[in-house]
Chain A
């Protein structure tokens, strides 16, 4: 079964850091570029970051550039999102999503992990 499982979310205060993890199984992880997407409460989907298969190409949305860092470890079939200087507006469910392996739509998706930034 193809599966992505996120972890690492929680309640944190503004200004602190948090590291999200996404563990993949059931597919050839190293052959897929990976993304992070978030969804603020009651809002739509916002793409955040992309990393290609060999980590040579990385992109960020302007909203997180300079604060968030994406990385991957193919030996652990995992992708990570290091989030620094967290703000209240970063409160959201964070999803990891793989590219299809054929083109650049997103499939599969993880179930998401909730990050709440509040004092």
Chain B
């Protein structure tokens, strides 16, 4: 099973600032990595797939990079609606599909 590790667990950022979230895989997942955003009481929403491709309707301030075992999600200028929990997921080797434990982006 591929273990996904996200850091930090919590990121405190002021509106308008940049946020950078990290995700590490226990073995290579190539570019088969997705990022999801989850707000309280809501289902996860796909942000990024293929490590760097934004899903339909996702603003350009969200960007993903990486391949192999190291990945980042960057939010270039945080808006109020971006404060949420973010999960990475590998879909290179399955089953199981595995998620990171999440990074909470909170208002500083």
Contact = CB atoms under 8 A, between A and B. Distances in A.
A65 to B, nearest CB: 10
Contacts of B36: 45, 106
Given A35-B97, A104-B91, A45 B44 contact: yes
Contacts of A109: 43-46
Nearest to B95: A59
Contacts of B100: 44
B26 to A, nearest CB: 16
Interface secondary structure of B, over-half rule: loop
A104 B89 CA distance: 10
A32 to B, nearest CB: 14
A16 interface: no
A61 B95 contact: yes
B71 interface: no
B49 A103 contact: yes
20 contacts: A44-B99, A45-B44, A45-B89, A45-B99, A45-B102, A47-B96, A47-B97, A47-B98, A50-B97, A61-B96, A95-B43, A95-B44, A100-B46, A100-B49, A105-B49, A106-B34, A106-B89, A107-B46, A107-B49, A111-B42
